[in-house]
Amino acid sequence: MRVLRSTCWVVLHKSHIDGTFGDKAAKGVFLGHPDGSKAYKVILDDGKVVKARSVVFAETNISKVAEVAEELPEDEVVKVETGLRSASDGEDENADKDDKDDKQDHGSDKSADDDQDSGSSQDTLRRRGRARRPPVEYWRPVSLVAHEAPTTYVQAVRGQESDKWRIAMDEQMEAIRKNKTWRLTERPASRRVLKGKCVCKVKNEVEKNGNNTTRHKARLCFTGIRQIKGLDFNETFAPVAKFTTFRCILAMTAANGWELHQMDVKTALLNGDLDEEVYMEQPDGYVDSTYPDKVCRLFRALYGLKQAPKMWYAKLVDFLKSQGFDNIDPDACLYLLMDDGEIIIVLVYVDDLLLVASSLAAIYKIKDTLHKRFEMKDLGEAKVILGLEIRRDKALGTLKLSQGKYAGQVLEKFVMAECNPIGTPLEVGLQLVKADESDDALPYREAVGSLM
């Protein structure tokens, strides 16, 4: 047994060591064991979480690191924690079916190599000319993946992109101050005080000129999982637009030659007004030095609050109705305005607004109205909405939808980007065998859910 959070060194394979005098190990802190594996889970000094088997702990003589590195086998290379499960962990030993067929039909490849090295004249083994493939590996969800967003404030300010994350967090806190989301008050004796957490994410976006770009986003989230119904909240339901409605509106847009634009509401959920009395600890990194012992009494919604989507939806609906929009049944998020012969349609999906109008002047009019009430981001003509790529040709009157980028992301997630396409969804002649309920090596549920 090892002590959690103890100092340790992840031994690097000799092929990963930079020259004769390069580091033979990376220092880190022991976090425990990954599920279903005997490897060690270690967070390195640079913030990366890795999974490795050859780890030297502080109670061991550090000089052993060099010895272990020399004896480290080729297949035991330190891997960054991505949630991959492979045959090297003893959890998918039958994944490499090609290797098994080679051994059954033509003998062991290893024996053939030994015979050639020893100079034996007998070579009765026939080797196949096709290239051998590595074992198939599958994803499992994990809390942190290397090169992705940090999960804590400390990781954000100490990582390689600390400047970008600091700017993103400052923008979030500035938006909270503008909305007057909370007020510092004395800690209540009869109410619970919950905590908040800064959630970071790298978001892919499409600019007005059509170029793809990435943006670092930070959101201060309330620990809504600890809220108690009847005490911290009552109702939570907030509707979103149906995909069938999206398709119908897009079809009408293409048929009538209407304008199609998109807007994003910045910090949308922060606009909702709270009816309940909710308290939160001051967020890490932004504690008021004058009143460090006080807590935040929330007057506006925060991300993570169970009632936040409902409060934002109610506020947006009230504003649209005040501007003359009418809800179109049966979709609660579809609103229509007839203004001097102009048709204006607003389709709401949380903080994403799809604007459709019969003229460009009407589009600019509704955009100006929204800008005056909320802090908005104008995305121009709609290019991507909820993962749907929109390709429109006004001259031909066509509008095409594509999910090619999403499909590529799904293939990469399940390590199938290099697989060959087939004409049938199932292998011909495949004999299905009932799987063990405890076997979760193949993430069938995640894969099917990604396609729905």
DSSP code per residue over 293-321: T-EEEEEE--BT-TTHHHHHHHHHHHHHH
The pLDDT of residue 367 is 96
Highest mean pLDDT among 150-159, 222-231, 318-327: 318-327
As beta bridge partners, residue 341 has none
Q: Which of 106, 92, 170 is nearest to 137 (CA)?
A: 92
Residue 330 near residue 231, CB atoms below 8 Å: no
Percent with pLDDT over 90 in the chain? 36
pLDDT, mean of residues 390-402? 90
The pLDDT of residue 148 is 66
pLDDT band at 109 (very low <50, low <70, confident <90, very high): very low
Helix (H) or strand (E) holding 184: strand 182-185
d(CA 188, CA 222): 18
Q: Which of 445, 421, 345 is nearest to 141 (CA)?
A: 445
Q: Provide CB contacts within 8 A for 420, sequence distance 6+.
A: none
> Which comes out higher in pLDDT, residue 115 or 10?
10
> Which comes out higher in pLDDT, residue 427 or 308?
308
Is residue 310 over pLDDT 90? yes
d(CA 96, CA 86): 10
> Is omega for the bond preceding 330 within 30 degrees of 0, making it cis?
yes
Is residue 138 over pLDDT 70? no
pLDDT, mean of residues 382-396? 88
> Which comes out higher in pLDDT, residue 208 or 187?
187
pLDDT, mean of residues 351-367? 95
The model carries a pTM of 0.58
Give the Å distances, CA to CA, from 181 to 178, 189, 271, 300: 8, 22, 8, 5
pLDDT, mean of residues 403-426? 82
> What angle in degrees, to the nearest 10, is found between the helix axes of 404-413 and 444-451?
180
Is residue 125 over pLDDT 50? no
The mean-pLDDT minimum among 82-86, 119-123, 144-148, 252-256 falls in: 82-86
